[in-house]
Amino acid sequence: MPVEQESGAALTAEVAGIIRKKHLAGADAAVKFLPSERDLAKKLGVSRTTVRHALGLLETEGLIRAEHGRGYRRLPKSSALAAGSRIAILRPLGSGGISDQLAASLQRVALGQGAQVLSLGPAELSARSVSDSLVEAKVWGVVLTLDDPEMHRAIQEAGLPCVAVDCASRALDIDYVNQDNFGGAAQAAEHLLSKGHRRIAWFGPVAETPQSLERFAGAGSAFTRHGAELPRGLIVPPAGDREAAAREMLSRPDRPTAVLAMWLGEVQAVCRAARSLKLVPGRDLDVVGWSNEEVYREQIVREFGAAGAPPMVVWSTDEMARVAVARLEWRLRDRELRPLRISIPTRLVLPAEGIKEERA
């Protein structure tokens, strides 16, 4: 008997329930798109208006998505990170470095809830192959650490929520979770300026990426507050051998008394060059660097010793992973959320504070 004999909200809910059972959890659950509104109306014996309202209800539940010219696409059934669920991190092939640390942080976040992380370097696979594999693996959300419009498009079409983490570019129409580049560099410059330094060098890229430009602008904001400016002759974007470039900068007759080195490789190069020139930190030269907390503890303190480590702007990959997962969960609940730019807070760690942190 047709279900059209009922009316209003009750009928809409009943039709939505039938579609949910037969087409979203039943034998044809593997089909990517639902039958057309016309076909559903004919099979269920209801009007297309009723079917459209029922489909709208299922769309608000995050079970389907209307795609112009294609119909209603089935979406992954997961609703949040939970025991047995999976998220994926897609990374540049052979990336290492921060991508490895983020993958480890995501794994810790997932394991805390009994879930899993699939870590993939998809550069050798087509975007469509990767997205199909993620759906087959029952992944419910994706973290990108690479700027790949084709990959992002394929993931969106598969109905998977996606967030970009620590990506240099801002080209995708997607949530971005990054370090507070502007605020961190402002903290670093403020520290040196408050110690009375004015011949402060900028050692590192300036406008190569949005990240470098944000950091340069953050440092510039601190100089402006102090009525000063970065000396143009001491803006040194190193090319090639960073340690040789740092040694050349520190060997000048008008060498800087302090250096902003807002990248891990740059701060290491400046500190090694200073040691080779017998410059004493805190007397001949002050340096502020940039690192995540994990690398600060495991590499910087180990290389320089806790007391000899330079002041560093630090941030947490674990916090970045928690925010990324939370944003994926928000997107599962509300697919219409507009993309955000989220900045993970930074803090300036002085050598003495670093020693306390290590003992804690």
Residues contacting residue 105 through CB under 8 Å, at least 6 positions apart:
317, 318, 320, 321
Side-chain-facing half-sphere of 141: CA atoms under 13 Å: 28
Q: Say if residue 4's pLDDT is above 60.
A: no
Residues contacting residue 29 through CB under 8 Å, at least 6 positions apart:
23, 74
300 vs 5, which has greater pLDDT?
300
Class of domain 181-316+348-359: alpha beta
**CATH code for the domain defined by 3-74:** 1.10.10.10
- Residue range 20-31: mean pLDDT, rounded: 67
Q: Say if residue 37's pLDDT is above 70.
A: yes
Taking the CA atoms of the chain, what radius of gyration do you get in angstroms?
26
Q: How confident is the model at residue 32 (pLDDT cuts 50, 70, 90)?
A: confident
59 vs 106, which has greater pLDDT?
106
Provide the CATH topology of domain 86-179+319-345.
Rossmann fold (3.40.50)
Query: Model-level pTM?
Result: 0.74
Cα gap 38→72, rounded to integer Å: 12
Cα gap 262→226, rounded to integer Å: 20
Closest CA to 145 of 126, 123, 127, 168: 168
pLDDT digits (tens, 9 = 90+) for 216-235: 999 999 999 999 988 889 99
Q: How confident is the model at residue 170 (pLDDT cuts 50, 70, 90)?
A: confident
- Residue range 65-79: mean pLDDT, rounded: 74
Contact (CB, 8 A) for 50 and 15: yes
pLDDT for the residue numbered 6: 47
Is-same-fold flag (3-74; 181-316+348-359)?
Answer: no
Cα gap 195→258, rounded to integer Å: 10
Q: How confident is the model at residue 96 (pLDDT cuts 50, 70, 90)?
A: low
pLDDT digits (tens, 9 = 90+) for 273-303: 999 999 987 789 999 999 999 888 888 888 8
Q: Say if residue 182's pLDDT is above 90.
A: yes
Token couple for 192: 């040196």
| Domain boundaries, given as residue ranges, for the chain | 3-74, 86-179+319-345, 181-316+348-359
